[in-house]
């Protein structure tokens, strides 16, 4: 679990800034977008790292995909649980549509699984699975402002979408 939180040689594909977020490097690439490590700098030297998911350019041309990204952000922002990656902002800069999430320092469960081929401690696997289930339960039991169930279903539960922080806590994303 001592994986470096930032790629040793960040890829510099994509924009350098998205609004107030400075792109540092690429973290992951998926079907809908690319996730970048980004920094927000504020007054008096304040800085904070975030993960910014940018919709792929060819999908950003389709209003339906932009709406899906916005829906994902709106719904995920309502979930406040230690086993769910928090969404903190949404925006667009030029043709780039993006979601800003908390940055989880640590690898995905997929990375941990690959790295520990010879030795996969059962207690680590059980802990990650329990945390993931807790996060999914929080999403699946989410209600609207009137207390009505939203009936959410996470349609992409995979080892790549479970992040294991250096604190040992697993968080579901996407």
- Whether 28 shows a pLDDT value over 70: the answer reads yes
Q: How far apart are CA 5 and CA 129, in angstroms?
A: 22
Per-residue model confidence (pLDDT) at position 72? 87
As a whole number, the mean pLDDT across the chain is 88
Say which of 67, 71, 156, 167 is annotated catalytic. 156
Range 31-55 average pLDDT: 92
Which of 8-22, 29-43, 84-98, 155-169 has the least mean pLDDT?
A: 8-22
**156 in active site:** yes
Residues 26-50 have a mean pLDDT of: 92
pLDDT digits 0-9 by tens, 143-172? 989 999 999 888 889 999 999 999 999 999
Q: Residue 49: how many CB atoms within 10 A of its CB? A: 16
The whole-model pTM stands at 0.84
Residue 79 reports pLDDT greater than 60: yes
Candidate from 14-28, 51-65, 79-93, 157-171 with smallest mean pLDDT:
14-28
8 Å CB contact between 135 and 143: no
pLDDT of residue 116: 76
Confidence at residue 131, expressed as pLDDT on a 0 to 100 scale: 98
Phi then psi dihedrals of residue 93, to 5 deg: -140, 110
Structure tokens at 118: 């010879």
Give me the mean pLDDT over the 62-88 stretch: 93
């Amino acid at each position: 679990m001592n994986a470096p939180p930032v790629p040793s040689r960040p890829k510099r594909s994509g924009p350098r800034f998205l609004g107030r977020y400075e792109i540092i490097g690429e973290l992951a690439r998926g079907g809908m977008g690319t996730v970048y490590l980004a920094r927000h700098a504020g007054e008096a030297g304040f800085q904070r790292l975030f993960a910014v998911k940018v919709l792929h350019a060819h999908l950003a041309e389709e209003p339906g995909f932009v709406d899906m990204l916005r829906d994902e952000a709106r719904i995920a922002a309502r979930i406040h649980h230690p086993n769910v990656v928090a969404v903190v902002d949404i925006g667009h800069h030029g043709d780039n549509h993006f979601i800003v999430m908390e940055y989880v320092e640590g690898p995905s469960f997929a990375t941990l699984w690959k790295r520990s081929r010879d030795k996969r401690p059962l207690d680590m696997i059980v802990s990650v699975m329990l945390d993931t289930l807790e996060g999914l339960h929080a999403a699946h039991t989410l209600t609207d402002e009137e207390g009505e169930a939203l009936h959410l279903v996470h349609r992409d539960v995979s080892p790549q979408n479970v992040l294991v922080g250096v604190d040992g806590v697993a968080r579901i994303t996407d």
